[in-house]
Structure 1
Amino acid sequence: MDETPSVVVVEDDPTVRAAVGAYLRANGYAVSEYGDGVSARAALAAGIPDVVIVDRMLPGISGDELCREVRATSDVPIMMLTALGQVEDRIDGLESGADDYLAKPFSMRELLLRIGAMVRRARSAEAARGELIAGDFHIDLTRRRVLVRGVETAFTGREYELLVFLVRNPDRTLARDEILREVWGWTVGEPSTVTVHVRRLREKIEVDPQDPRYLRTEWGVGYQFSPIGALA
């Protein structure tokens, strides 16, 4: 595997795009820059980088639409940038398939740290070997293949990492801060990030996502995962 991590930056503001590209290159990344969603889509169809950084508001096709298209065929980590900073806007971005979110104006140092965490986790996951078997869940860590009740199920990169963490910590009450730290690598972050990914995970693992049996909310604390399905 190439040791130089590659990043695609999709940002219509040329000043922001140039600044992000220059900063990442100065810190050891190979960067490709695009000013609109259409050209970025064509580039991503030809090859997937280690990380995609995408602005939410783009000409041609939106950042949300680009995220959904990329996510349909790849679990590449996606960082979304936007001038929209409200919680609802962050949730919308995560719902479209982004793994992480930074509102403008943002710290270049924070961007670098988060991108680095994404690359490390993605590459360590690729290098992992073995399998996890717990109750109704069978995870092939080598091929990143997941069987839920015997049925192969597709997950995004972050959903997969979250599920692996949960399977490795069954029947424990896990605080949102702990999940952010262990799955995202953040010491400070937005708890709604966990909430959105839990919701997406439930849609894929629960028989009835509105009445979860595997991934249950512990109100005021966090979540608890039961690989055999907890009783009501």
Structure 2
Amino acid sequence: MSQQASILIIDDEPQIRKFLRISLGSQGYRVSESGAGQDGLASAALNKPDLVVLDLGLPDMDGQTVLRELREWSQVPVIVLSVRSSETEKVMALDGGANDYVTKPFGIQEFLARVRALLRQNQGASSGPAQAMSGPLCIDFAYRRVSLDGQEISLTRKEYAVLAELAQHTGRVVTQQQLLRDIWGPSHSGDTHYLRVVVGHLRRKLGDDPSSPRFIITEAGVGYRLVAD
């Protein structure tokens, strides 16, 4: 990864942000900062950093929630940096999509090594197609927009997340468990009624008749498939 890789720090402690900004900046990284969860999510969406450093104890929302919402639309590498050292917290963060977990206080050299390792792992990884098509339905991953016959459709965060995951596997079945685990989290892998409700809303917004679907096909007892273009 180029030394010009961008890193977003989401932490409410100004001293920690300053320390990380100086340390990461000395290695050539471009650093941006947010002191709260919602602001951090907005910054991640707008600036598309190469890596996120995320604290769990944020003033407006728990960092685990920030991670879960971030994973609904982004696979950017995330290092959790937190004073919470319990195994439960670590497992929850890693199951929720964190790539690494570092507890405070921490050694800066080890932290920088972990940053380099994650950036190397992500280097050259395919970013996937910019958009997916299913007949007149277009899913634009870069801008998180969905349009049908050229008209943009307003979707909730969960509706978009489900449709985007199906679109990333167009023509192939995505299991209910995979969708629930990836979008709602591992503790919801059996909550199939959540998924049925969201798919039902999606179908209504897309004008998709479940008895004769144009877009989303139900594979009974298994999952869902987005019809290939």
TM > 0.5: yes
**Equivalence for 2:65:** 65
Counterpart amino acid of residue 151 in structure 1: V
**Equivalence for 2:83:** 83
Q: Matched residues in 1 for 2:25 and 2:3: separation?
A: 14
Contact 1:79 1:98 in 2 (8 A): yes
Q: Deviations along 1:166-191, whole A, 9 cap, x unmatched?
A: xxxxxxxxxxxxxxxxxxxxxxxxxx
Contact 1:64 1:93 in 2 (8 A): yes
Contact 1:56 1:93 in 2 (8 A): no
**Equivalence for 2:125:** 125
Contact 2:10 2:54 in 1 (8 A): yes
Q: Matched residues in 2 for 1:3 and 1:26: separation?
A: 10
Q: Does the residue aligned with 1:114 lie in a helix, a strand or coil?
A: helix
**Equivalence for 2:213:** none
TM-score by length of 2: 0.55
**Equivalence for 2:29:** 29
Q: Does the residue aligned with 1:57 lie in a helix, a strand or coil?
A: coil
Q: Does the residue aligned with 2:122 lie in a helix, a strand or coil?
A: helix
Q: Does the residue aligned with 1:124 lie in a helix, a strand or coil?
A: coil
Contact 1:81 1:104 in 2 (8 A): yes
Q: Matched residues in 2 for 1:149 and 1:110: separation?
A: 43
Change (3 A) 1:147 1:57: same
**Equivalence for 2:215:** none
Contact 1:11 1:36 in 2 (8 A): yes
**Equivalence for 2:173:** 151
Q: Matched residues in 1 for 2:114 and 2:3: separation?
A: 18
Superposition deviation, residue 85 in structure 1: 0.8
For the aligned residue pairs, the C-alpha RMSD in angstroms reads 3.4
The residue correspondences of 1:97-112 to structure 2 (distance < 5 A) are 97-112=97-112
Q: Deviations along 1:104-156, whole A, 9 cap, x unmatched?
A: 1111111111111111111132399xxxxxxxxxxxxxxxx976994257x8x
Contact 1:78 1:99 in 2 (8 A): yes
Counterpart amino acid of residue 49 in structure 1: P
Contact 1:82 1:103 in 2 (8 A): yes
Bigger drift between 20-29 and 118-127 goes to: 118-127
Q: Does the residue aligned with 2:57 lie in a helix, a strand or coil?
A: coil
**Equivalence for 1:13:** 13
Q: Matched residues in 2 for 1:118 and 1:149: separation?
A: 31
Q: Matched residues in 2 for 1:33 and 1:123: separation?
A: 23
Q: Matched residues in 2 for 1:39 and 1:127: separation?
A: 24
Change (3 A) 1:127 1:107: same
Indicate the percent of aligned positions where both proteins have the same amino acid: 32
**Equivalence for 2:151:** none
TM-score by length of 1: 0.55
The residue correspondences of 1:44-63 to structure 2 (distance < 5 A) are 44-63=44-63
Change (3 A) 1:92 1:40: same
Question: Which protein has the larger Cα radius of gyration, Structure 1 or Structure 2?
Answer: 2
Question: What runs of 5+ residues in structure 1 fail to find an aligned partner?
Answer: 129-144, 160-198, 204-232
Superposition deviation, residue 22 in structure 1: 0.7
**Equivalence for 1:41:** 41
Q: Does the residue aligned with 2:126 lie in a helix, a strand or coil?
A: helix
Q: Could you list the runs of 4 or more consecutive aligned residues of structure 1 that deviate by over 3 angstroms after TM superposition?
A: 145-150
Question: What runs of 5+ residues in structure 2 fail to find an aligned partner?
Answer: 129-166, 190-229
Contact 1:65 1:96 in 2 (8 A): no
